[in-house]
């Protein structure tokens, strides 16, 4: 159970859901010519989930002192599992993830693509050990890695299927995935800021430099509110401008994506306690789920 907890299974399930929806809920219904069969997709999932899990483990190893302040009841390393055992677990997850990625890349006839998994693994390690203490940089890196979980479907499923020139449907699908990856980056960046505000006491003790420590909790909260209003306005504008002919899709965007974002903005305006910011973090995770679940709608829209 301890091993299960330190890999953060909910985040891994969200990653699995995201990639499955893109593959089976968007690319296949749209009729995009792709390179990965079911077994190849399983290899991609294994590679990304294991490397992501390894990143969570090394992050927990490096954060023990800070987590004792921020969330003492959830600390596993040093209590239920030794640091040495956790390191061995981290190494094993990385080896399995990178090996799966290497095998997948060779099956697709592009062995050089295996370097992507090595780079992602290195970034996750650098984030936990070095970059976590750098102002803004840490937030940007982890948000980029979240966006990469969507982009790998372009890299490993669409790109290897291109022979001479990309088909129009491949270009269209890639552009839409890029847009979703950009939104995932933005929303996760807000969530990282929310978590920094929530964990400000532990981060101070750990000597880290974060937005709430630099600007103060109140200004950081105002920034979170402003960023939330901006993405909410963008969602509503998109639904009004491009989805007015598809009432049910527009309704989904307004109520199941815009609705939680509106609640987030209202809640963030007066957020002060750790519990408030924990709720805001959960809301943003819900928005990410409802957001990625909207992608299959575009397979139907583009076919019409």
At residue 1, the pLDDT reads 66
| CA–CA gap between residue 193 and residue 162 (Å, rounded) | 39
Any idea which residue has 């402003």 for tokens? 226
Residue 81 phi/psi, 5-degree rounding, is -145, 135
At residue 27, the pLDDT reads 96
Q: Dihedral of the CA atoms 52, 55, 61, 65 (nearest 10)?
A: -100
At residue 72, the pLDDT reads 67
Residue 77 phi/psi, 5-degree rounding, is -75, 130
At residue 273, the pLDDT reads 93
Domain that residue 266 falls in? 2-303
Number of domains making up the chain: 1
Instruction: Retrieve residue 8's tokens.
Output: 């953060």
pTM over 0.85: yes
| CA–CA gap between residue 199 and residue 184 (Å, rounded) | 22
Low-confidence ranges of the chain (pLDDT < 50): none
At residue 163, the pLDDT reads 84
Nearest to 253 by CA among 224, 232, 268, 267: 232
| CA–CA gap between residue 242 and residue 249 (Å, rounded) | 10
95, 117 in Cβ contact below 8 A?
no
């Amino acid at each position: 159970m301890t091993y299960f907890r330190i890999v953060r299974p909910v985040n891994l399930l969200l990653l699995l859901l995201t990639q499955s929806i893109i593959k089976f809920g968007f690319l296949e219904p749209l009729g995009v010519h792709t390179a990965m069969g079911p077994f190849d997709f399983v290899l991609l999932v294994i590679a990304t989930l294991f490397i992501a899990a390894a990143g969570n483990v090394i992050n927990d190893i490096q954060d023990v002192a800070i987590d004792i302040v921020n969330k003492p009841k959830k600390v596993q390393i040093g209590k239920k599992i030794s640091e040495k055992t956790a390191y061995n677990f981290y190494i094993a997850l990385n080896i399995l993830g990178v090996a799966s990625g290497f095998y997948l890349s060779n099956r697709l006839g592009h062995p050089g693509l295996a370097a992507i998994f090595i780079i992602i693994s290195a970034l996750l390690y650098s984030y936990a050990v070095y970059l976590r203490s750098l102002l803004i940089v840490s937030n940007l890196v982890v948000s980029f890695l979240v966006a990469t979980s969507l982009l790998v479907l372009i890299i490993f499923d669409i790109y290897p299927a291109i022979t001479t020139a990309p088909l129009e449907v491949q270009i269209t699908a890639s552009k839409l995935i890029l847009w979703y990856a950009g939104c995932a980056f933005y929303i996760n960046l807000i969530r990282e800021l929310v978590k920094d505000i929530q964990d400000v006491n532990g981060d101070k003790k750990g000597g880290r430099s974060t937005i709430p420590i630099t600007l103060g909790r109140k200004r950081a909260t105002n920034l979170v509110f402003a960023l939330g209003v901006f993405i909410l306005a963008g969602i509503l504008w998109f639904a009004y401008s491009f989805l007015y002919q598809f009432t049910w899709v527009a309704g989904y965007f307004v109520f199941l994506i815009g609705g939680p974002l509106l609640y987030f903005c209202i809640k963030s305006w007066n957020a002060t306690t750790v519990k408030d910011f924990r709720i805001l973090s959960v809301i943003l995770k819900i928005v990410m789920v409802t957001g990625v679940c909207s992608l299959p709608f575009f397979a139907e829209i583009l076919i019409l």
